[in-house]
Amino acid sequence: MASNLNPFENAQQEIKRAVTRLGMHPAVYEILKQPMKVLTVVIPVQMDDGSIKVFTGYRAQHNNAPGPYKGGIRFHPDVTLDEVKALAMWMTFKCGVVGLPYGGGKGGVACNPKELSRGELERLSRGYIRAVAEVVGAEKDIPAPDVYTNPQIMAWMMDEFSQLKGYNEFGVITGKPLVVGGSAGRNEATARGCSIVVREAAKTLGFSLKGATVAVQGFGNAGSIVARLLHAEGCRIVAVVDSTGGAYNPAGMDPGRLSEHKVKTGSVKGYPGTKSVSSAELLTMECDILVPAALENQITASVASQVKAKIVAEAANGPTTPDGDRVLTQQGVFLIPDILASAGGVTVSYFEWVQNNMGYYWTEQEVNERLEAIMVKGFQEVLTMKKLGKDIDMRLAAYMVAVKRVADAMAVRGWLGNTTSQVAKMEVKPA
Ligand code: GLU
């Protein structure tokens, strides 16, 4: 992997830029450049044919100065310790940028869930949470769904953990089904958060979402729901791609019908009245808003030089490389960075945990109103930070807001020794 495609190194670069620009003590970077704790576990699982398969799992805990570690669990064949460490780091800043009382964590198991039976998946899920039980808990570290994990898996893990403890601990995990302490609105939350910040960005740039053209890369939980929500705001969804193909219609498409087509045929490709489009074509096509909602490292420098969108809203984690970032900035593209654009999911996870702690549950409307308030405030804080200097782009601004929050928490807790007062009182210097 080329160095600029290593998500862990990319995340470190962003932190370094933010710490330097904020004029902070280098100790802040030394603490934040790595996870505070990492656990590797071995999970033996009895397969349906009676054999034993041994899986490797991880939990990385990046920083817990602002509150318990928080972040999902990924089940994917390519899971590595480095990836989990980077994702844990991103979670600290995702929570920080919108001001949630959490630090960041992430877990993963190297496995292919598509090849596991339901029984095998349940045994693996229970085995994983038993193996990391010592380091997780409602006040310690709170996992959630991530790539290829879902509410059912969260329910098994919550159940296993509760059985170990001898009482129900719903708050140990979020993204659960509604009947066992899940929150209304959690499923849509990542996409809803993204569509809220897109609306704020359009307002900032002075254009209306009515009739604005949108291209979405990825049609999973985030991409398909972002398309639906932006369509409801009056946008024209002109192109979408998933891992099997794409659909393009300059007159716009109905995302609800597109989802039905995907359920029926397994792909968005071939949706009536559309032309086929590739992922590379989609990223560089004429449109007002581009939403990368798929994988890491999609917008490289050469792709970025051809991006025509006015707004790029990163619903995925890490879709733009650092080189791509620089080119987008030079071209005057308004970027809504991943740690902000994808913070809606963990925000409603936080609401779920709060509701579990209270034992009292909110309506979907209450959840959505609270999400809206947090996302708008986060967006405005990042924009204000950006305006402090012409060398501050939206990604750096987002990291500066987040790093400052985490560093302040570390400082008042005494983790920075006699640099404390310097960091806690620090103001951002205008350029
Ligand atoms: N896995 C999601 C993310 O990367 C959600 C994490 C959570 O809800 O804790 O943001």
Flag residues of the chain having pLDDT under 70. 1-4, 419-431
Q: What does each C-alpha distance from 210 to 167, 216, 227 come to in angstroms?
A: 51, 17, 14
| Cα(235)–Cα(138) distance, integer angstroms | 40
User: Which residue do the tokens 């330097």 mark?
Assistant: 20
Query: Ligand 1 centre from 347 Cα, in Å?
Result: 9
Supply the pLDDT for residue 426: 58
Q: Is residue 311 part of a domain?
A: yes
Q: Is residue 154 part of a domain?
A: yes
Same domain, 193 and 313: yes
| Cα(313)–Cα(94) distance, integer angstroms | 15
* Half-sphere exposure in the Cβ direction for 297 (13 Å, CA): 11
Task: Tally the domains of the chain.
Answer: 2
Q: Is the CB of 92 under 6 A from ligand 1?
A: no
Residues 49-73: pLDDT tens digits? 999 999 999 999 999 999 999 999 9
Q: Is residue 69 part of a domain?
A: yes
Per DSSP, the residues of 162-183 read HHHHTS--GGG--S--GGGT--
Phi then psi for 394, rounded to 5 degrees?
A: -65, -35
Residue nearest to atom 9 of ligand 1 (CA): 71
Q: Is residue 265 part of a domain?
A: yes
Query: Can you point out the beta strands (E) in 111-189?
Result: 141-142
Same domain, 92 and 209: no
Same domain, 151 and 237: no
| Cα(312)–Cα(87) distance, integer angstroms | 21
User: Which residue do the tokens 């001898």 mark?
Assistant: 166
What is the CATH classification number for the domain harbouring 312?
A: 3.40.50.720
H helices present in 360-430, as ranges? 364-386, 394-413, 420-425
Phi then psi for 134, rounded to 5 degrees?
A: -60, -30
Query: Ligand 1 centre from 314 Cα, in Å?
Result: 14
Query: Ligand 1 centre from 341 Cα, in Å?
Result: 12
What is the CATH classification number for the domain harbouring 105?
A: 3.40.50.10860
Q: Which atom of ligand 1 is nearest to the CA of 174?
A: 8
Q: Which atom of ligand 1 is nearest to the CA of 90?
A: 4
Catalytic residue check, 114? no
| Cα(94)–Cα(168) distance, integer angstroms | 28
Domain that holds residue 144: 35-171
What the block records as the tokens of 299 is 């917008």
Q: Is the CB of 221 under 6 A from ligand 1?
A: no
Q: Is residue 81 part of a domain?
A: yes
Q: Is the CB of 70 under 6 A from ligand 1?
A: yes
Query: Ligand 1 centre from 364 Cα, in Å?
Result: 19
Residue nearest to atom 5 of ligand 1 (CA): 346
Supply the pLDDT for residue 6: 82
Same domain, 226 and 303: yes
Same domain, 220 and 139: no
Same domain, 162 and 233: no
Considering 85, 94, 106, 262, which one is annotated as catalytic?
A: 106
Q: Which atom of ligand 1 is nearest to the CA of 94?
A: 10
What the block records as the tokens of 384 is 């204000």
Query: Ligand 1 centre from 324 Cα, in Å?
Result: 24
Same domain, 108 and 142: yes
Q: Is the CB of 176 under 6 A from ligand 1?
A: no
For β-strands 73-76 and 245-253, DSSP reports them as unpaired
Query: Ligand 1 centre from 145 Cα, in Å?
Result: 6
Q: Report the side by side order of strands in the sheet with 245-253.
A: 245-253, 236-242, 213-217, 289-292, 311-313, 334-336
Q: Is the CB of 141 under 6 A from ligand 1?
A: no
Q: Is the CB of 146 under 6 A from ligand 1?
A: yes
| Cα(382)–Cα(223) distance, integer angstroms | 23
Q: Is the CB of 212 under 6 A from ligand 1?
A: no
Supply the pLDDT for residue 296: 83
Nearest Cα neighbor of 124 from 60, 52, 44 is 44
Phi then psi for 75, rounded to 5 degrees?
A: -110, 110
Same domain, 320 and 197: yes
